[in-house]
Amino acid sequence: MKPIDLMYQTMLAELGQRSLDAAWSADFPSDGRFTPVTVKQRRYWYFDQPDGEGGRTRRYVGPASDPEIAKRVEEFKAQKDDLRARRRMVSTLTREGGMVAPDRLSGDVIEALASGGLFRLRGMLIGTVAFQTYAGILSVRLPGHSIMTGDADIAQDFAISHEVNDSMPPILELLQSVDPTFRPVPHRSGQAATSSFQNKDGYKVEFLTSNRGSDDHMDQPVKMPALGGASADPLRFLDFLMRDPVRTVVLHKSGIPVTVPDPSRYAVHKLIVASRRHNDGPSALKRDKDVRQAGILFEALLQTRRSSDLAIAYNEAWERGDAWRTGIRTGAAMLSDDDREHLGVCLRTGAVEIGEDITLPF
């Protein structure tokens, strides 16, 4: 597994900070522009922005003589310059640095959800779109066959969604701003609520939340007030994945600041998820992908001297009870011989580093 050069690691860290700063400070969207208009011999500023249908919408900003407005216009020009610089950084990181960019649609979907406040409201990416970011987080090049996806999985904690007293704009409107063919997917329970959306090509955006209660709730969509009208499917073991998230940047356009699971937790969680999938059809394909991604991360964590991180996450899952141990054992049995070796060495090394006993899953 080839490491990523320190120069590119440093560039990614700078891009992440600058993207985060831009997300906090942007009063006007970066896809628009300030336009001076003269009315009755007086000059005014307006802001033009694409309407998504080939045209533009225009809103009044104020007189050009107002020094505060003039300052905003100058700051916006500086933001535009920074936007171009960040786009060049993204291009360098993906073309030369060995880091991973999402496919165009996934990137546009994440950008729309981010602009709607998803990560501000403590939502997070999970699944393969999150896995793609681990090249930058772990500073290793990921094999291409493990990073392809046709969907985007989003998670938010149930309590957070009910307690923040804030909400994103309607999710369907955000997704249709990217692709007008996005539609709600009828929930398998027959309820009117929806937890996923799909476009005409089959690309799916799914919302999930943790289930720490009875399995009776597993097939029932949960209302999530912060998710702009979307519900979420409760999943067992998801609370483990969502704990101690990591901030990073998705390498799309000028960089999108996002939140993803800790890679050690992701790897352990993938073993458990793989153990619960069926052995035929699309479920079997997802199972194989889960196991492969877990194996890649075990190798990467060992190579980058993060064995203690994996040992801590593994022991937490192992100590949660018999169902967790069975899932870990079953998932670990699906690993290739090399991946099992990486897991075993990583856990044994991590156990020494953290001073704890560890029971291997095989």
Residue whose token pair is 């075993």: 344
pTM, 2 dp: 0.85
> Which 3 state secondary structure label does DSSP give 44?
strand
Residue whose token pair is 């006993």: 357
Residues of the chain with pLDDT under 50: none
The reported pLDDT for the residue numbered 77 is: 76
Burial 153-168 (b: 16+ CB within 10 A, else e): bbbbbbeebeeeeebb
Distances (CA, A) of 213 to 105, 120, 275, 352: 35, 27, 20, 35
The reported pLDDT for the residue numbered 145 is: 65
State the Cα–Cα distance between residues 182 and 180, nearest whole angstrom: 6
The reported pLDDT for the residue numbered 214 is: 60
